[in-house]
């Protein structure tokens, strides 16, 4: 029944739904990273270890063919993914959650330039227009919350955004140009790489409390593991730039978790910024002409 229902949804809209759902799962990250009394490397290590196990189990159940194709793009795909996870956690620990999220979602700016160059896609003015309005909304959304004094944390956040853009580009590259059937292996490899990079910093701090383990299990299974399985599927149907524009929903959903978790009420500016971002995303992605929909390979 589920497969029958999904088959009726146009492929482009299916991609939009998948990426939106992934953004919903990602949005809980900022709150839990701040709540956990663990350092950035402990969080990154456990979260990715649990995520790798989760994706492997789901891939085994789905009988997914897991074959790593060694090559420059393949390696860069896994490396950029690993760096997203580590850099964002480090940034969130060193600067405000608002700074980390805001600067990470400069990713669509880079993709707007990179995707037409490397994937030979058409430069779309609608992407630029939607992105401008999204950035205006983001500025309003985080008005008064940004702290430019946290230079080191901000640099990590910007680097995380660059890696997010590159990961989306390389993942789309594997699907579109290399015609890779199973790109989930690069996400598994990226999570394993996170564990290896963090291990020297955490090998003597592996014992954690049960409450922390429960939070890390949620983050590893849902916030990273299942969410990136969904993202990996969704980006098959839409462009990398579109995926990053939709992923900006994470930034406006994050404070919802904060409100539910600690009762922090969003400001009028935040609400106004949210409405602008949502309106821009809906305009860009749900009001497209048939000729503007990305062509995908079967």
pLDDT at 298: 36
User: Which pLDDT score is estimated for 93?
Assistant: 86
38 DSSP assignment: S
| Per-residue b or e along 270-290, where b marks 16 or more CB atoms closer than 10 Å to that residue's CB | beebbebbeebbeebbeebee
17 burial type by CB count under 10 A (0-12 exposed, 13-18 middle, 19+ buried):
middle
pLDDT at 110: 93
User: What is the pLDDT at residue 82?
Assistant: 97
In order along the chain (298 residues), what is the average pLDDT of each group of 10 residues? 64 91 89 87 96 96 89 95 95 82 88 90 86 90 74 91 96 91 93 97 93 96 96 93 91 76 71 87 71 45
User: Both tokens of residue 18?
Assistant: 């998948």
User: Alpha carbon of 293 to those of 218, 240, 241, 288: distances in Å?
Assistant: 35, 13, 13, 7
The pLDDT, as a whole number, for residue 7 is: 67
Q: Is 178 helix (H, G, I), strand (E, B) or coil?
A: coil
Task: Give the residue among 23, 98, 12, 52 at the shortest CA–CA distance from 288.
Answer: 12
* Cβ–Cβ < 8 Å for 91, 167: no
């Amino acid at each position: 029944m589920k497969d029958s229902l999904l088959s009726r949804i146009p492929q482009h809209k299916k991609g939009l739904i998948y990426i939106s759902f992934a953004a919903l799962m990602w949005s809980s990250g900022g709150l839990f990273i701040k709540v956990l009394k663990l350092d950035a490397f402990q969080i990154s290590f456990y979260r990715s270890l649990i995520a790798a196990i989760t994706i492997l189990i789901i891939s085994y159940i789905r009988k997914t063919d897991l074959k790593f194709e060694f090559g420059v793009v393949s390696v860069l795909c896994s490396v950029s993914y690993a760096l997203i996870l580590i850099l964002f956690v480090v940034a969130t620990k060193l600067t405000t959650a608002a700074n980390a999220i805001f600067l990470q979602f400069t990713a669509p700016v880079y993709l707007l330039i990179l995707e037409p160059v490397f994937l030979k896609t058409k430069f779309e003015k609608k992407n630029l227009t939607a992105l401008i309005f999204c950035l205006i909304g983001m500025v309003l959304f985080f008005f008064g919350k940004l702290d430019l004094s946290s230079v080191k944390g901000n640099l990590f956040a910007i680097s995380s955004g660059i890696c997010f853009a590159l990961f989306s580009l390389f993942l789309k590259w594997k699907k579109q140009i290399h015609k890779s059937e199973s790109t989930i292996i690069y996400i598994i490899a990226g999570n394993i790489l996170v564990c290896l990079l963090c291990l020297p910093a955490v090998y003597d701090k592996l014992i954690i409390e049960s409450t922390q383990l429960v939070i890390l299990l949620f983050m590893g299974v849902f916030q990273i593991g299942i969410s990136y399985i969904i993202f990996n599927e969704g980006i098959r149907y839409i462009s990398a730039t579109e995926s990053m524009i939709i992923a900006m929903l994470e930034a406006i959903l994050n404070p919802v978790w904060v409100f539910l978790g600690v009762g922090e009420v969003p400001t009028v500016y935040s609400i106004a910024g949210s409405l602008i971002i949502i309106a821009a995303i809906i305009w860009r992605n749900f009001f497209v002409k048939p000729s503007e929909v990305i062509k995908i390979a079967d």
